[in-house]
Amino acid sequence: MGRRIKLTKRLVDAAGAGAKDYFLWDSEVVGFGLKVTRAGLRTYVVQYRLDGRSRRFNIGPHGSPWTVETARDRARSLHGRIVEGEDPQASKVVDRKALTVAQMCDLYLNEGLATRKPSSVATARQDLDNHIKPLIGTKRAALVTPEDVDKLLLAIAAGKTARRAKTGTKRGLSRVRGGKGAANSAISTLGAAFGFAIRRGVRPDNPVRGVRKFPEKKLERFLSPRELARLGEALAAAESLGVENPFAVAAIRLLVLTGCRKNEILGLQRSWVDVHNSCLRLPDSKTGAKVVHLGSAALEVIEAIPEVVGNPYLLPGRGAVGRIADLQGAWERIRAAAGLSDVRIHDLRHAFASLGVAGGDSLLVIGALLGHRTAATTHRYAHLSDHPLKSAADRISQEAATMMGLKVKSDPKPLRADPAIAAPGQGGLLGSVIETKWLDTPAAAAYLGHTVGTLQTYRWMGTGPSFRKIGRRIVYAQGDLDSWRSEGLWEAA
């Protein structure tokens, strides 16, 4: 059993993860100890012998309700039962079959998700606390039927669990919403909890298995080259005029140029950028640690971002402290200026993938660039490639058209649009502030020799030079002003 030492709160709190699981044995109660896993999970245990066999009983994980004192008292109580010939491990199986759904959920959160990320645990806790426990928490877990799950799904979708709940802050309130999306999420979490319960002997089957959830519509928006050009134009104008946080502008550019997820870019630290090998070395992500390969355009954006001394993040937050926490406000203004009101931030990741597929890269390569765990996740982009089904559809449709006497173009429309779609003076799809000069209304009026009022009249009549709206400001590209002036459609004031 090894060396024994009196377990204290300070000793338990200091016990960190090692290369393998290890035990700390208490000197006050024989067989009582602390198990520390490689993942850092600390669990109080009791080691005992019964009928010549060594057995181990898990009391519970360190933390409420199990402290060193309460766990030691529990160990003493178990020793008394063992002396009388009772096997605590066998009794534990019987006790688990009497667990309520709420107790099963707590066991799943404390032990079943012990090795998961805090964000995953928080999401599961919301589903269980907000929806599952209020509706079926008092029911015995062993008696839940698929019919009960069906009714639960409908109840959550109908909004029976919707309410306002207090948060941990002084005046914090959160709104618990029902609906089909919340119902599907809650049932998925419940299914995972029952899967854990099966492994722990609570019941032999999973009542969630076979229950049909509401159909979910996957929102997949792919940006065309023309739309990317408009996005680049809006970003360049916003940065040139200083109407948006330059770090937010850089973040949006990097999302398109790398295909990374939003939090991977917002949480990026400078030490994770490997310029020599043209990659990002992320210690953690949705799919674990990964390497993100970078193109030269992405590296140029990164190298142009000014460093804030003492701040480890690539994209500092407000006041140069911490990192950018939210990109939604800036994105909504930028996408409105680019005429892309239906495009989400996550669609920028789709844009990166769709350009790769349309350019002839295999789904295997695209999946590796995006960091997908399975090929099935990348398969959503299959329809964008020169797929055998696409070739067959083209051949069959042309044959049918010929039979119908229709004229068919000999060469199909190329997947990529004409590169000349880039904004005036811009060399690439995302634009360049250096190559394009942007002027606000007073500067544009002065450049043309007009008054601000004259330009406003032109806009109202729809006869003046092209303009864009960035946030609340009207801006002009110098190239557009020159083109309009060269056409002789203006008169100097």
**Residue 341 one-letter amino acid:** S
Kindly tell me if the per-residue pLDDT of 240 is higher than 90: no
Summarised one tens digit per residue, pLDDT across range 428-441 is: 444 444 456 778 88
DSSP sequence for 2-37: --B----HHHHHH----SS-EEEE-SSSTTEEEEE-
* Averaged pLDDT, 284-308: 83
Cα(100)–Cα(475) distance, integer angstroms: 63
Number of neighbouring beta carbons within 10 Å of residue 34: 21
Number of neighbouring beta carbons within 10 Å of residue 249: 21
Kindly tell me if the per-residue pLDDT of 407 is higher than 80: no
Summarised one tens digit per residue, pLDDT across range 59-97 is: 888 887 889 999 999 999 888 888 877 877 765 655 556
Cα(483)–Cα(196) distance, integer angstroms: 68
More confident residue, 426 or 380: 380
Number of neighbouring beta carbons within 10 Å of residue 328: 10
Contact present, 251 and 265 (Cβ < 8 Å): yes
**Angle, vertex CA 6, rays to CA 5 and CA 8, nearest 5:** 125
C-alpha R_g of the chain: 31
DSSP sequence for 70-93: HHHHHHHHHHHHHHTT--HHHHHH
Tokens of 209: 């298995």
Residue 427: predicted pLDDT: 39
Does the pTM exceed 0.75?
A: no
Summarised one tens digit per residue, pLDDT across range 9-35 is: 999 999 988 888 999 999 999 999 999
Contact present, 447 and 439 (Cβ < 8 Å): yes
Tokens of 88: 């605590």
Residue 229: predicted pLDDT: 85
Instruction: Calculate the average pLDDT of the chain.
Output: 80
Measure CA of the first residue to CA of the last residue in the chain; give whole Å.
96
* Averaged pLDDT, 463-478: 81
Cα(475)–Cα(422) distance, integer angstroms: 17
Number of neighbouring beta carbons within 10 Å of residue 415: 15
Kindly tell me if the per-residue pLDDT of 386 is higher than 70: no
**Angle, vertex CA 424, rays to CA 454 and CA 429, nearest 5:** 135
Residue 380: predicted pLDDT: 61
Kindly tell me if the per-residue pLDDT of 107 is higher than 80: yes
What are the CB-based long-range contacts (under 8 Å, 24+) for 443-451? Answer: 444/475, 444/476, 444/481, 447/478, 447/481, 448/481, 448/485, 448/490, 448/492, 449/492, 449/493, 450/490, 450/492, 450/493, 451/493
Cα(430)–Cα(103) distance, integer angstroms: 53
User: Residue for token digits 């208490």?
Assistant: 26
Contact present, 250 and 238 (Cβ < 8 Å): no
* Averaged pLDDT, 211-215: 91
Residue 413: predicted pLDDT: 46
Cα(334)–Cα(475) distance, integer angstroms: 13
Prior bond of 65 cis (ω within 30°): yes
Summarised one tens digit per residue, pLDDT across range 312-331 is: 999 998 888 889 888 988 98
* Averaged pLDDT, 392-404: 64
